[in-house]
A and B are shown apart, each in its own frame.
Chain A
Amino acid sequence: DAGVTQSPTHLIKTRGQQVTLRCSPKSGHDTVSWYQQALGQGPQFIFQYYEEEERQRGNFPDRFSGHQFPNYSSELNVNALLLGDSALYLCASSSVRTGQVTYEQYFGPGTRLTVT
């Protein structure tokens, strides 16, 4: 059973560019959340997708957008990159299906984004 997978592992971009990060949830999961983790900090919630719609959003600007596909995989897009966007981006999956009462979230290995 594959866990949460993310691609790419590392990425280097220049200020002003755009980036797309990808996530495949754990088998059987239908909800994907994205988090940003700056160096030395705890992860910060960006947004969550369920049934191909953004359901919750954290305190991030509109430069951060996302998408969820019918197979539950998800993309995170960041436009007009700033130096401060350099961070580890984590994807987490969970399930709302009947019987899943704990809503435990499972995290992927992350994508390290460096903006120069």
Chain B
Amino acid sequence: KQEVTQIPAALSVPEGENLVLNCSFTDSAIYNLQWFRQDPGKGLTSLLLIQSSQREQTSGRLNASLDKSSGRSTLYIAASQPGDSATYLCAVSQPSNFGNEKLTFGTGTRLTIIP
């Protein structure tokens, strides 16, 4: 059974700092890994998707890396801004006969950027 862990559970950093969020998973046989952002009481916004054959993806100030063999992914946020305050979730999907896979989520890292 796939298990996803995110550390730390909460993080507070001053505005402008660079930061790294961590995600680990127990079964390396994944199809892809997605990072999501969730604002309080809201739905999920997809930030980055990394396919199992890729090592990293970048979007603006965000960079996500994937080390499938060690079961780890990191989300790097450069030059943090107060608007980055949210909960960040990582989720993995695994191959099956169906193609469109269920996602297994971590419990998230609650990020607060201090102005």
Contact = CB atoms under 8 A, between A and B. Distances in A.
Q: Is B truly associated with A?
A: yes
A6 B43 CA distance: 10
A42 interface: yes
Contacts of A50: 98, 100
B34 A104 contact: yes
Contact of A107 (B43, B102, B108): B43
B-side interface size class: 20 to 34
A-side interface size class: 20 to 34
Contacts, number: 77
B98 A55 contact: yes
Nearest to B9: A40
Contact of A102 (B44, B49, B106): B49
Given A103-B32, A104-B34, A107-B36, A58 B102 contact: yes
A108 B43 contact: yes
A95 B98 CA distance: 11
Interface of B: 4, 31-32, 34, 36, 41-46, 49, 51, 89, 91, 93, 96, 98-108
A11 B15 CA distance: 37
Contacts of B42: 109-110
Nearest to B44: A107
Interface in A39-65: 40-45, 48, 50, 55-56, 58
22 contacts: A33-B100, A43-B44, A43-B91, A44-B105, A45-B103, A48-B100, A50-B100, A58-B102, A88-B41, A90-B43, A96-B99, A103-B32, A103-B93, A103-B99, A104-B34, A105-B34, A105-B100, A105-B103, A107-B43, A107-B46, A110-B42, A110-B43
